[in-house]
Amino acid sequence: MGNDDAGQHFWVNTISREHVLLGVEGGFTQADHGKPTRLAKLAAGDGILFYSPRTAMRAGEALQEFTAWGLLTADPIYQVEMSPDFRPWRRRVDFREAAAVPIRPMLGELSFIAGAPSWGMVFRRGLFEIPETDFELITGRMTPAGAAD
């Protein structure tokens, strides 16, 4: 499992802030309503950003912020039972100290949404890869001054 090619990759996972906070507390991410397919593409050391369009999954208020980030650990994908009919797959994340930042001031700077007539549609993909330069731009704005890796 993991990336087929060597090197670090960088990802965005689109999740409500409420669910991001649960992931930060538990040290994990999940995607695709619990299917392991895309999580298997992530590898140890890959960077992952969390974009939250809303505060809560269904009825939350609009937010449009990057709300957390971290690095994937070497731990394997694992499954948990949330209920008898919902057993999502997860990956461990080493979350870094970060402050949430709004996306709007960065819209003209992010290459992965450049030229998109409706930039928000990009995030409907859920979990997707982005260029390292975009990852560094966003995490640089999220990381408090003086915070070490």
Exposure string for 14-52, b = 16+ CB within 10 A, e = fewer: bbbbebbbebbeeebbbbeeeebebbeebbbebbbbbbb
Q: What is the chain's mean pLDDT, rounded?
A: 89
pLDDT per residue as tens digits for the range 93-148: 999 999 999 999 999 999 999 877 789 999 998 899 999 999 999 999 998 765 55
In the three-class reduction of DSSP (H, G, I as helix; E, B as strand; rest coil), residue 32 is classed as: helix
Query: Under CATH, to which class is 10-142 assigned?
Result: alpha beta
Domain residue spans of the chain = 10-142
Tell if the pTM clears 0.75, that is, is over it.
Answer: yes
pLDDT at site 146: 55
